[in-house]
Structure 1
Amino acid sequence: MSVFKKFTVLAAILAASLFFDGCEQKISTELQKVHWDRDMCARCKMVVSDRKHAVQVINPQNGRVYMFDDIGCTVLWLQEEQIEWADKAVIWITDVKTGEWIDARTAYYDTMNITPMAYGIAAHKDKSTIKKGEEILRYDDVAKRVVEIEERNNKRGIK
């Protein structure tokens, strides 16, 4: 095989590999821009407007983003919709003090807040920002608490 043919074959292989590599779909699990006062909560369909209690859930399988106005709606949506990828979901929540997006699974939570859906639970990046004497929860505790609140409200006829 001549040098020219070898070069042509190598160039074709390189071009094909670059083409197929460029076609590979990369799934983003990055935080997405919120369109405040326009994006709707995936569960209750209210507009996401409170910058201190917003949540984003990202499906790691396809990168789809779901917005929520309250951590309570997030927890209930994951449960009610029986989301198979819930344990792998990327969940962002805004810090109640700064409005900064933080990882919901590593955040600290307190329970004495006025929130969009009245669950009262707010996220903190650092537990030192929670008032002394207040109950401090972690994400798994928040999920249990929201379900308890919802069950109690349903028994009393509150929707």
Structure 2
Amino acid sequence: MVKYLKVLLLLVIGVMFLACEKKAEKGVAEVHWDRDMCSRCVMVVSDRKNTVQIRNPDTSKTYMFDDIGCMALWLEEEKIEWKNKAIIWVTDVNSGEFIDARTAFYDTNNVTPMAYGFSAHKSKDTIKKGEEIISYDEVINRVTKINQ
């Protein structure tokens, strides 16, 4: 009888753990400002206007970066196979809101945490007249060329 109670207790505990399992998140993960670390340079993420987050679509694991330049180099250095499928968010330099990094517009003359100088905008209209406007793909190309 004691043997059956032990088995039953183990089953109940196992079911409880499964019920408490955290489901994979789909949106932007919570940022712990001044505590989360950049996945590449290990600097504390504190600049609310140039933060980047990547989610691995296969595992839902999230990676944090203090500058889009760090993210671009991390993708190359770590040979991330899922980089083309990655879900990538970047903060809008004006609002601090997380936006889709691939559809954002970037200007090129900014003070950023690791001095790459690229800041994201949700709309072209928020970029000063006369400033260069580039795409996500161009940001990645420029960062990786600089560090070759």
Q: Percent identity between the aligned chains?
A: 63
**Corresponding residue of 2:75:** 78
**Corresponding residue of 1:133:** 130
Deviating beyond 6 angstroms after TM superposition, the runs of 4 or more aligned structure 1 residues are none
- What's the RMSD between the two structures over aligned residues? 1.7
CA distance in 2, matches of 1:77, 1:105: 17
TM-score (norm 2): 0.83
The number of equivalent residue pairs is 130
**Corresponding residue of 1:103:** 100
Match of 2:46 among 31, 49, 56: 49
User: Are residue 88 (structure 1) and residue 90 (structure 2) matched?
Assistant: no
Q: Which runs of 5+ in 2 are unaligned?
A: 1-18
1:45-72 Cα offsets, whole Å, 9 max, x none, are 0000000000000000010000000000
CA distance in 2, matches of 1:56, 1:131: 25
CA distance in 2, matches of 1:92, 1:34: 12
**Corresponding residue of 1:119:** 116
State the 1:26 CA deviation.
Answer: 5.4
- 1:101 corresponds to which letter in structure 2? F
State the 1:147 CA deviation.
Answer: 1.2
TM-score (norm 1): 0.78
If each structure's helix is expressed as a fraction of its own residues, which one has the higher value? 1
CA distance in 2, matches of 1:140, 1:131: 21
**Corresponding residue of 2:29:** 32
1:120-147 Cα offsets, whole Å, 9 max, x none, are 0000000111111111111100100111
CA distance in 2, matches of 1:115, 1:104: 16
CA distance in 2, matches of 1:129, 1:149: 27
